[in-house]
Structure 1
């Protein structure tokens, strides 16, 4: 490791990613289909056989970007969650799941990624560390997701930077996404996944990446809620595929999301075809996970 790398704000993140506990021992079931597979995944990561989910937590990270989506979108959605009026609140209540929503400085939006990097290294690393706070509730299953206007744009930009292809492979907003990635390529080394994250991801994506990483360190299984959470997982996967060995895709939305899941080798539990994520896909998949606990 060079001195410059050691001094980087990302140094602690890299050290954490390099010092992981052994992965869960996953034994693919000979029969029983997808439910048996989910049951075996839970047993591998929780060590409980038969498996159980007693303290699931849905962690939603709210962020805002300059010039994207309706003004005040994230604030309105946060207030809906706080008042219990959001769909995810009812789904979480029906599942007995904890629900946490985090305000990531939504009154100070990140820059337009077509014009400037989303975050400095220091801010990105700090936001990843903040995302790890979701583990303070000691969940035995974590469902991280985002609250952000048009979150699929950032997800698509990250996917394009990591895997290439055409912007239209990843999103309908191809022109905006392509412009953001081209700007980032001119300013940073996009062969570094953390540079991709800080250049193109919003604070919400960085926080989800931190939460997924912390869950891996603590061997807590993760359900990925939607395209943005999958993009956060893709950043970690690009560092080391083992960083998301504990994660399963809750659902799949549009074509870009499906393509990214294929790149990660993740088969979604549900196909809900929803763009607005905000925990709904993850909470829905939790029903299936609970049923899988009854499979022996």
Structure 2
């Protein structure tokens, strides 16, 4: 059998370690549920969050959104002007922003695949670098123009339904998914990712997978990050056992996708902005849950 660039990814996903205990996520007491989840994955009877990290992955796509959007947002994060900088700082969280070649955009998925298998697998591996900081809670997020379009394409390809279920711009989503379908790419979640995702969603998927292997709890931030997680869910549902949904935003399809993944958001802030804002805000609730325990 011919080797695939995805073989190493599949090997990591094939046998993820189990939590030390089984978290009780149906207690009704949400603070107790969060505490139980942290205890299960950290192995600590008295859980604590001391090294949270918000990891943002920036990507760009040809012809989608304002030119230079991702570069401008990266500069805002670097200067401390972005909202997420203040929220992460208030929670004592580290903040990492990764430039995934934003000056070399991926193709528009309406026209052709976003990435080759080799590029997609390499980008997933790069996303795993967020774990180098050894966080005890990871919040992966996306910086990309119109990231909800990418999320909608992934969600529709992975879970079906109509484009109107997932996006406010259904025509573009329909065209992209139809093009990928013609190439017979939708039976394999990793092919869905490389056909319809961006570098930023590939990197988020890699970060979530690495956290699962290392048993590090994850808060999913925003529609695009949730869509990246959905790729792993379609590979093996247990790959998201270490994840909670930080929040549900205003992007059409976000709540629907969380429901498909069986994830109940910690907070509903009606945020239109993604880029780690909802995830950073939810860190506060997780810390409160530690204190309540």
Q: Describe how 1:20-169 pairs up with structure 2 within 5 A.
A: 20-28=16-24, 33-169=29-165
Structure-2-length-normalised TM-score: 0.98
What is the CA deviation profile of residues 201-236 of structure 1, one whole-angstrom value per residue up to 9, with x for unaligned ones? Answer: 000000000000000000000000000010011000
Pick closer, same or farther for the CA change 1:24–1:152 going to 2, 3 Å.
Answer: farther
Report what 1:281 is aligned to: 278
Structure 1 residue 26: deviation in Å?
2.6
Report what 1:170 is aligned to: 166
Structure 1 residue 52: deviation in Å?
0.1
- SS of alignment partner, residue 183 of structure 1: helix
Report what 2:176 is aligned to: 180
Structure 1 residue 32: deviation in Å?
6.6
Is the contact made by 2:245 and 2:265 (CA closer than 8 Å) also made in structure 1?
Answer: yes
Structure 1 residue 23: deviation in Å?
3.0
- SS of alignment partner, residue 271 of structure 1: coil
Alpha-carbon distance in 1 for matches of 2:247, 2:100: 25
Moved segments of 4+, more than 6 Å: none
Tell me the C-alpha RMSD between the 2 structures: 1.1
Alpha-carbon distance in 2 for matches of 1:229, 1:245: 15
5+ residue gaps, structure 1, are: none
Pick closer, same or farther for the CA change 1:31–1:61 going to 2, 3 Å.
Answer: closer
Alpha-carbon distance in 2 for matches of 1:161, 1:278: 23
Structure-1-length-normalised TM-score: 0.97
Report what 2:191 is aligned to: 195
Report what 1:256 is aligned to: 253
Q: How many residues align?
A: 292
- 1:240 paired with 2:207, answer no
Alpha-carbon distance in 1 for matches of 2:131, 2:244: 17
